[in-house]
Amino acid sequence: MQCKGKRFIEIAVGLPVYSTYTYIAPAGETDAVLAGRRAIVPFGKKTATGYILGDASILPEADVKPVCDIIDATPLFPATMLDFFKWVADYYLHPLGETIKSALPTGDIPRRDMARQAGTKTAIGDAVKPDVPPDLTPEQATVVSDLSARLGHGFDACLLAGVTGSGKTEIYMRLAEEALRRGETALILVPEIALISQAEQRFKARFGEKIAVLHSGLSRGQRWAQWLKILRNEVSIAIGTRSAIFAPFASPAVIIVDEEHDTSYKQDGSLRYNARDLALVRAKMAGGLVVLGSATPSVQSAYNARTDKFAVTHYLQHRVNNNPLPDITVVDLRQVQKHRGARAFISDELFHALKSTLEDGDQALLFLNRRGFSSFPVCAACGETLRCRHCDITLTLHKKINAYKCHFCGFSLPATAVCNTCGSTAIKHLGMGTEKIQEAVQQLFPDKSVARLDRDTTTRKGSIARILKDLKNRRIDVLVGTQMIAKGHDFPGITLIGIICADLSLNFPDFRAGERTFQLLAQVAGRAGRGEKPGRVIMQTYNPDHFSIIAATQQDFKSFYDQEINFRKALAYPPFSRIVQLKISATDREKSRDAARRAGDACRDMKHGDPAFAAVEVLGPVEAPIPRLAGRYRWQILIKAPGANLLKQFISRLINENGAAIKKGNARLVVDVDPFFMM
Ligand code: ADP
Ligand code: ZN
Ligand code: ZN
């Protein structure tokens, strides 16, 4: 809006405020496109960075201030993305300016143009050889022709449920190629960490310079360079982890979410979005196609497919080359005879299978979803555990660094630490982690190369790639690892998978515990037998009769789903409801409890005070399963409603009317929409 020669513009500042503000554009900028550019604006007594949304639509009140400066010469994202940002901010109840801020690369745009540096190398510096597209299998061909035909015909969502090794990535590449052929763009999301380098390599081998890559392993400068390539239409394909859902394509024709069930799509902090869910929203806004692929689809997506919320579900029942799915043997840990020493966690079945695999010159993966050496250091004199000073959890001994560490806050004690209660030096190292397994296997097979892949061995840049490369080139005989080994890798030399303890995630206080366990186990098992030789899986468990475990041994997500969905329905959990978790915390125990009580009372008053909220359920407040983390005392309230809109109305009214009162005395209140991490 212009008035008396002045141009009024609307700006969202990158601060925790829910409104947007009107400012006067600089005199020289009366006609330029301003939306999508950043500006420095006066805000209170200070200045702030803001994102220009466009011209103000209502005449502002009297004393409107001029912006101090406009930072960017051109917009940082296409105007079409503004509606998407607004949707995201609205849905996750997050300030718009902060939403845009967390979508963009951080820091300033580097002066030097780094876009040229990338070349046909991967982010970790591997040269990529161009590949020759294989002939599609009949199953793949059917899917590719159906999905290609949907391109350019408006919004469609598709679930691609294909067993591990069925060639889903090839399908993604054909779809991207089809989008390119039509002069359009494609966005591909993959889960965090290791998968990105593998997917990146395959896409670079196929598409060379035409792709941009966005993930957390890039430096700020590299991130900006990739971002600008997308923005300036220098590439037509972007591939990346969670945050790549914000890649600045004006209107992607296809968005692919690989391993759509993966929890790394949910951000656990600041803007708590789920990129898988946002892929659907963005595709709908762009009138494009969205493809969610997985061997173990999430209950949510499977439900959407069953209830015809999605246009089509494609199944790939066979592995490429018709390799059989691995044969899975379940070992009931309640029945096995306990060995001492190195064999304590390795049953006879697993030991003999390992032995013969290694004798044949093949490779094995051993999976245990817990890192460190001992997860349960306990005093032999008084029975107390060694605990973190700031969190209500036991410390984990890490032999490699000779220290006890807290896996939540990073607190550490030297390995020589004594019992905090009685001062005894006799600490028993119970509880196993990947480090202990690695040591045990190395003792059992001293002349084999036993390596480990977990967060501790991969802190340095490029270390994941190095380990995976060694695995591929068979410089590693046995790889012990956490869920990092579960994800999507394709190594033909692996013929044995040992699952040391299948139950670790089963009893988590989380309604998705069964789903996570099923997905993790089925994915790990799927790493076996991808080459010429058939694969074998030995799964050790204390719960051989649990349906999540049984379904995982059969790699049968349909049977898992059929049982799980009944349980969700009976308890009105998603997908039969929407939930928001309020996370309330304070550094003082009393204050945290009082704040939680105020929040709970406010919720109940609202529910009972307005018939519109009759269907809203308020559960809690309860102390969090981990009652203290990093020095903060924590409480939770779960709020359930049959639909997203009702829930949002409820929560936004709660925040507007009671937010400040709840936070009295420095308590923190976090709203987590569609929560994933409930501990
Ligand atoms: P998924 O993602 O379904 O687990 P991948 O896409 O990793 O499976 O495919 C498994 C392996 O099969 C890969 O090595 C891939 O290169 C190969 N592959 C995929 N499609 C074909 C095909 N049509 N012909 C030959 N090999 C294929
Ligand atoms: Zn003691
Ligand atoms: Zn801690």
Q: Identify residues whose C-beta is under 5 A from ligand 2, the ion.
A: 379, 381-382, 384, 419, 421-422, 424
CA distance 603 to 618: 7
* For the chain, percent of residues with pLDDT exceeding 70: 96
Test site for ligand 1: of 143, 170, 259, 323, most ligand atoms within 8 A of the Cβ: 170
Gap from CA of 419 to ligand 2 centroid (Å): 5
Q: Which of 329-333, 377-381, 405-409, 507-511 has the lowest mean pLDDT?
A: 507-511
Environment class of 375 (CB within 10 Å of its CB; exposed 0-12, middle 13-18, buried 19+): buried
Residue with CA at minimum distance from ligand 1 atom 18 = 167
pLDDT of residue 128: 75
Q: Which ligand is nearest to the CA of 206?
A: 1
| Angle 53-56-57 from CA coordinates, rounded to 5° | 120
pLDDT of residue 119: 46
Q: Which ligand is nearest to the CA of 380?
A: 2
Mean pLDDT of 224-231: 95
Gap from CA of 623 to ligand 1 centroid (Å): 47
Instruction: Reduce the DSSP state of residue 403 to 3 states and report it.
Output: strand
Q: Identify residues whose C-beta is under 5 A from ligand 3, the ion.
A: 388, 390-391, 406, 408-409, 411
pLDDT of residue 349: 95
pTM here is: 0.92
Q: How far apart are the first and last CA of the chain?
A: 48
Residue with CA at minimum distance from ligand 1 atom 25 = 134
pLDDT of residue 196: 64
Gap from CA of 319 to ligand 1 centroid (Å): 8
Gap from CA of 124 to ligand 1 centroid (Å): 23
pLDDT of residue 126: 60
Q: Which ligand is nearest to the CA of 377?
A: 2
Gap from CA of 380 to ligand 2 centroid (Å): 7
Mean pLDDT of 399-419: 92
CA distance 190 to 276: 10
Gap from CA of 414 to ligand 2 centroid (Å): 16
Instruction: Reduce the DSSP state of residue 88 to 3 states and report it.
Output: helix
Gap from CA of 649 to ligand 1 centroid (Å): 46
CA distance 380 to 429: 10
Judged against a pLDDT cut of 80, whether residue 531 lies above it is answered with no
Gap from CA of 375 to ligand 2 centroid (Å): 17
Residue with token string 């004798």: 359
DSSP tag of 272 = -
Judged against a pLDDT cut of 90, whether residue 163 lies above it is answered with no
Q: Which ligand is nearest to the CA of 419?
A: 2
Structure confidence by residue, pLDDT tens digits, 114-128: 544 444 455 545 667
Confidence of residue 112 (pLDDT cuts 50, 70, 90): low
CA distance 647 to 615: 10
Structure confidence by residue, pLDDT tens digits, 229-262: 999 999 999 999 999 999 999 999 999 999 999 9
Identify the residues whose C-beta falls under 6 Å from ligand 1: 134-137, 140, 162, 164-170, 320, 490
Test site for ligand 1: of 143, 200, 320, most ligand atoms within 8 A of the Cβ: 320
Gap from CA of 425 to ligand 2 centroid (Å): 8
Residue with CA at minimum distance from ligand 1 atom 2 = 168
Judged against a pLDDT cut of 80, whether residue 198 lies above it is answered with no
Residue with CA at minimum distance from ligand 1 atom 20 = 167
Identify whether the C-beta of residue 319 lies closer than 8 Å to the C-beta of residue 325.
yes
**Closest by Cα among 668, 576, 599 to 300:** 576
Q: Which ligand is nearest to the CA of 390?
A: 3
Judged against a pLDDT cut of 90, whether residue 337 lies above it is answered with no
Gap from CA of 456 to ligand 2 centroid (Å): 28
Residue with CA at minimum distance from ligand 1 atom 10 = 165
pLDDT of residue 195: 55
The DSSP bridge pattern shows strands 536-541 and 396-398 to be: unpaired
Structure confidence by residue, pLDDT tens digits, 277-321: 999 999 999 999 999 999 999 999 999 999 988 989 999 988 887
**Which atom of ligand 1 sits closest to the CA of residue 169?**
6
b/e map 129-156, b = 16+ CB within 10 Å: eeeeeeebbebbeebbeebbebbeeeeb
Gap from CA of 409 to ligand 3 centroid (Å): 4
Q: Which ligand is nearest to the CA of 392?
A: 3
pLDDT of residue 129: 81
Mean pLDDT of 365-389: 93
Q: Please, what is the average pLDDT of the chain?
A: 91
pLDDT of residue 319: 86
**Which atom of ligand 1 sits closest to the CA of residue 163?**
3
Which tokens is 331 given? 């070992």
Residue with CA at minimum distance from ligand 1 atom 5 = 167
pLDDT of residue 624: 94
Q: Which of 54-68, 90-104, 299-313, 472-486 has the lowest mean pLDDT?
A: 54-68
Q: Which ligand is nearest to the CA of 489?
A: 1
CA distance 523 to 520: 5
Judged against a pLDDT cut of 70, whether residue 634 lies above it is answered with yes
Q: Which of 193-202, 479-488, 591-600 has the lowest mean pLDDT?
A: 193-202
CA distance 429 to 310: 50
Confidence of residue 341 (pLDDT cuts 50, 70, 90): confident
Gap from CA of 395 to ligand 2 centroid (Å): 15
CA distance 405 to 395: 5
User: Which residues in 44-189 belong to E strands, given as ranges?
Assistant: 46-55, 69-70, 156-162, 186-189
**Closest by Cα among 188, 184, 234 to 209:** 234
Identify whether the C-beta of residue 188 lies closer than 8 Å to the C-beta of residue 230.
no
Residue with CA at minimum distance from ligand 1 atom 9 = 167
Q: What are phi and psi of 301, to 5 degrees?
A: -70, -40
**Which atom of ligand 1 sits closest to the CA of residue 168?**
3
Which tokens is 27 given? 């005199």
CA distance 662 to 640: 20
Test site for ligand 1: of 169, 292, 491, most ligand atoms within 8 A of the Cβ: 169
Mean pLDDT of 64-86: 93
Mean pLDDT of 598-612: 96
Gap from CA of 167 to ligand 1 centroid (Å): 4
pLDDT of residue 442: 97
**Closest by Cα among 446, 443, 450, 488 to 467:** 450
Residue with CA at minimum distance from ligand 1 atom 13 = 167
**Which atom of ligand 1 sits closest to the CA of residue 492?**
14
Residue with CA at minimum distance from ligand 1 atom 19 = 167
Confidence of residue 193 (pLDDT cuts 50, 70, 90): low
Residue with CA at minimum distance from ligand 1 atom 24 = 134
Gap from CA of 307 to ligand 1 centroid (Å): 30
Q: Which ligand is nearest to the CA of 135?
A: 1
**Closest by Cα among 282, 257, 233 to 103:** 282
Residue with CA at minimum distance from ligand 1 atom 4 = 165
Test site for ligand 1: of 490, 494, 527, 530, most ligand atoms within 8 A of the Cβ: 490
CA distance 346 to 50: 58
Gap from CA of 590 to ligand 3 centroid (Å): 20
**Which atom of ligand 1 sits closest to the CA of residue 490?**
7
Q: What are phi and psi of 327, to 5 degrees?
A: -85, 125
Which tokens is 537 given? 């899986």
Structure confidence by residue, pLDDT tens digits, 41-61: 999 899 999 999 999 887 766
Residue with token string 């380990």: 467
pLDDT of residue 402: 93
pLDDT of residue 118: 45
Gap from CA of 203 to ligand 1 centroid (Å): 13
Residue with token string 């301003």: 34
